[in-house]
Each structure stands twice: as structure tokens, then as C-alpha cells.
Amino acid sequence: DAGVIQSPRHEVTEMGQEVTLRCKPISGHNSLFWYRQTMMRGLELLIYFNNNVPIDDSGMPEDRFSAKMPNASFSTLKIQPSEPRDSAVYFCASSLRGINTGELFFGEGSRLTVL
Amino acid sequence: DAKTTQPTSMDCAEGRAANLPCNHSTISGNEYVYWYRQIHSQGPQYIIHGLKNNETNEMASLIITEDRKSSTLILPHATLRDTAVYYCIVFNTDKLIFGTGTRLQVFP
């Protein structure tokens, strides 16, 4: 099993540009989570999906952030326009919703730097 | 909002047991205790979880007090590769909220 796959691993962009982060969850998993990690705020849950439907997006910082899950094998997190304060590592995780819902499998993260 | 309290950092000698404490005094009856760790520059990794009984797997043991207000994660023979931030999380089948965790440094 390839695990959760995220791309790009590293992204450097300039303020005002659009950023799209991508995630492929583990096959068969029906829950997907986007987290952001910074030194100041630690690991923050941004949004999560069950069966491709957004369940809780209360962690999305503002309207510049949006997330989609068009099918069970793909999700995107978009920032438009990007700002320097968006610089962080963004993690995607997936799980099989059921008895052991709390066991999440994380990807290796996408490190975003906004200049 | 994290419902747990953990020490900021701990040290452990290689080969010795690492005992990481966690307080969760407001835990509800249907909430589980989950432990994750994050090795530098990697995504968090699930370790173990429990409800009220002690649990053991190939990575660690979890000891939960009878009143469930605290727990201890035990790494029986710590190695240098166990150096990481360890997160204790109270979970109720909704979403995992990470706190600040304990930074464990294993030294030779």
C-alpha cells in the first residue's frame, strides 16, 4: 500500500499567487482530513470529509481557503490569493470510518512557503 | 481545544523504558485516549489507543488509570529513533484535535 500521497512536497510561491495542494488517500478509506502545522499554532484541523462530503470546515481560516473532494481518491486544498502567513506544512490524512475512526494515516506533508 | 495536559519535554536513555504521562481529567465515558507521535519533518503516526483497559501492541503499552483521568504511554526499550513529539488525544469518534505534546529526546 502506497499510503497517503501528497503533492507537491515543497512549494515556494509569491504572495498573491494561487496555490493548490493535492492528496490521494489510501484506497478504501472514506474519511479525509486536512491539517496545517506551524511553529506558532501547532497542528490545526482545517476541514474533513466523510464519503467525499465536507463535514466540518470550521478550521478553515478564511475565504481564501477552499477544499474539494470530487471523488474518493482525490482531494485538493486551494489558497487564493496566498499570503506569507499561509506558510506552513499542510498534511492530509485518511481513515476508514468505523470502530477505529481515530486511527488516521498521514501523508508526508506539503511544505508551503509564501514570499 | 485539547482536553489533555502533557509535560513539554522529557529525556530518556537509550534502552531504558520511556514513560510519557498524560492528564485528561475531564474525559467522558465514551471518549477514547489516542496516542500519536511525530518524528521531525514527518506526518504524525498512530501509536495506540484505549478506552479503559490497558493496551499493548508492537510499538508501545498504554496504561489508563481506573478513574480514566490520566494515562501513561510506555515505550519499553527506547531507541534513538523514538525521539519525537508524542501527542495524547482524547477522541470521541469525531475529529482528532492535537495539543502541544511532549518532546521526547532519547540520548545514547
Mean local confidence (pLDDT), A51-67? 92
Could you say which DSSP state residue A59 is in?
A: T
Task: Give me the phi and psi of A103, to 5 degrees please.
Answer: -90, 100
pLDDT digits (tens, 9 = 90+) for B7-59: 999 999 999 999 999 999 999 888 999 999 999 989 999 999 999 989 999 99
Nearest C-alpha in A relative to B1: A44
For residue B96, list chain A residues with Cβ-Cβ distance below 8 A.
33, 45, 102, 104
Q: For residue A89, how many other CB atoms are within 10 A of its CB? A: 17
pLDDT digits (tens, 9 = 90+) for B54-84: 999 999 999 999 999 999 999 999 999 999 9
Residue B29 has what pLDDT?
86
Confidence of residue B91 (pLDDT cuts 50, 70, 90): confident
pLDDT of A111 higher than 70:
yes
Confidence of residue A1 (pLDDT cuts 50, 70, 90): low
- C-alpha span between A63 and A72 (Å, rounded): 24
Cell 529525556, located at residue: B11
Contacts of B104 (CB under 8 A, 6+ apart): B9, B10, B11, B12, B18, B20, B78, B82, B83, B84, B85, B86
Pairing state between β A10-13 and A110-114: parallel
pLDDT of A99 higher than 70:
no
Q: Does B45 touch chain A (CB under 8 A)?
A: yes
